[in-house]
Amino acid sequence: MNEAAWLTIAFVLMLLAMSWFALSLKSHWKQVTNGKPASHVLRGIGWLCVILSGLACLQADHASMAVLVWAMLSATAAFIVGQVLSYRPTLLKPLALFRA
């Protein structure tokens, strides 16, 4: 696979991770759906996606550049998820699979 494909995979994984981190919080969960979130499960899946995103960045570039790209992806993904929660939180409803 080429560099662009690996970076796209890394970005999608980081978006998923930040979305699940946000949904693990009770206040954000209530914005999206009712009930209580399975916080530990959502955080665990989020961390798994963060690690996989880092590995995808390592496939795309050498280590020093991959860490920089990975950090920028995490900041960008967190910003995007924050905007989605502010304006259209129901877009995250398909990710709200795990309830307590």
Strand partners, 99: 37
Question: How would you write the pLDDT of the chain (100 residues) with one tens digit per residue?
Answer: 799 999 999 999 999 999 999 999 999 998 888 888 888 999 999 999 999 999 999 999 899 999 999 999 999 999 999 999 999 998 988 888 866 5
| Predicted local distance difference test score (pLDDT) of residue 36 | 84
| Predicted local distance difference test score (pLDDT) of residue 13 | 97
Tokens of 56: 């995808």
C-alpha torsion 90→55→40→26, nearest 10: -30
What is the number of other CB atoms lying within 10 angstroms of the CB of residue 90?
11
Does the pTM surpass 0.85? The reply is yes
| Predicted local distance difference test score (pLDDT) of residue 35 | 81
Q: Which amino acid is at 37?
A: P
